[in-house]
Amino acid sequence: MKTMQETFNALEFTDAALTLLDQRVLPTRLEYIVCRDYREVEFAIRDMIVRGAPAIGATAAYGYYLAACEFSAAADRSAFMTRLKEASLFLEQSRPTAVNLRWALRRMQTVADAAVKQPMDELLSQLKREADAVKQEDIDTNRAISRIGNDIVPDHATILTHCNTGALATAGWGTALGVIKEAVRSGKEIFVYADETRPRLQGARLTAWELMQAEIPSKLISDSAAATLIRDGKIDCVILGGDRVAANGDVCNKIGTFMLSVVCKAYGVPFYSVVPVTTIDFEIETGDDIPIEERDAQEVTHVEGVRIAPEGMAVYNPAFDVTPHQNITGIITEAGIIRPPFKEHIQKIRKAYGI
Ligand code: MRU
């Protein structure tokens, strides 16, 4: 067994403030941003100081708690609850695709509703405990997913991954990158190809950084190089994350994921998405119903603040795409590996979790 320790903490709540590792400037600068109120938390999510579906869920939970602290002096409890609901909606709209955000805020709301008649100190401490639980449960869940996912990773595997799904994208450890780290930790010899992941370069900036910290043998590739590697038999499996899974098993993830799935299907390469159950949206039937965030044109026209496209060029910049379940070998979760028929298996998980 190899030991593997994380050397950074991307998300920490201390002294009435949320401290976030600024993922916009990694890996060239290691800087932290302190959010002291829910508006700053909303900005941190929207501007991608923090990103990754589980990480923004945990961040939003602390944002909710900060809002409750701010409104605790409200004239009466009903005014307090109204303002809290407004703040929750404000936090929820910061990024529309990852369902973990809505899930975490609903969970906080449930606690607030149940404790509405409690003294304010008690209500606030229940909310703080809940936000801490959202964070800790995500770390524990990632560890469990990693152990389950390790079963599908052959020794000496070469794995291709996309975007960033490690400790930076979660409350700690990671989902797809968690599976890869667990495989290495368990003694397997693994090689990783990391897609750079245009336009935000989460692969080049963040996954490459995490892979190097974990000392996992790896190479960074441009997104366009992936298909050739897959066709040439150089990839044993593709393992990546997910931002929202529909009830039929369609997976919405970082833009470029769908394209990878098509190539994998064409060449018979296993394609896995790794997500906590909190990323499954049981209320949405198919991927067609998932709202896809479109981001600023400047993410495409500029690289590191330098313009690369002609002034005035129009841009289409969806941040995510949907991979149809037909292209997916399995969805790895803490409740086990979901395989076809996806709809039935997802339904069973819903029942087992009472969702
Ligand atoms: O736009 P981002 O960087 O928030 O997108 C992140 C992803 O698409 C990840 O693959 C997904 O959130 C899973 S993270 C464990």
Pocket test of ligand 1: the residue of 253, 274, 300 to mutate, having most ligand atoms within 8 Å of its CB, is 253
Token duo for residue 168: 């930076």
Token pair 């606030």 is found at 124
Span from the CA of 173 to the centroid of ligand 1 (angstroms): 14
Please report which confidence band the pLDDT of residue 75 belongs to, taking 50, 70 and 90 as the band edges: confident
Q: Dump pLDDT digits (tens) for 161-185.
A: 999 999 999 999 999 999 999 999 9
Which residues are the active-site residues? 243
Q: Report the pLDDT value the prediction gives residue 4, as an integer from 0 to 100.
A: 75
Q: Are strands 158-161 and 320-323 parallel, antiparallel or unpaired?
A: unpaired
22, 141, 142, 243: which to mutate for ligand 1, most atoms within 8 A of CB? Answer: 243
DSSP class of residue 24 equals T
Per-residue model confidence as pLDDT tens digits over 181-209: 999 999 999 999 999 999 999 999 999 99
Quickly tell me which residue has 């929750």 as its tokens: 88
pTM summary value: 0.97
b/e map of 228-238 (b: 16 or more CB within 10 Å)? ebbeeeebbbb
State which fold the 145-353 domain adopts.
Rossmann fold (3.40.50)
In terms of CATH architecture, what is 11-143?
Up-down Bundle (1.20)
Tokens coding 202: 């989460």
CA–centroid distance, 146 to ligand 1, in Å, is: 17
Provide the residue ranges of all domains of the chain, joining segments of one domain with +: 11-143, 145-353
What angle, rounded to 10 degrees, do the helices at 53-71 and 120-150 form? Answer: 180
pLDDT tens by residue, 298-352: 999 999 899 999 999 999 999 999 999 999 999 999 999 999 999 999 999 999 9
pLDDT in tens, 224-246: 999 999 999 999 999 999 999 99
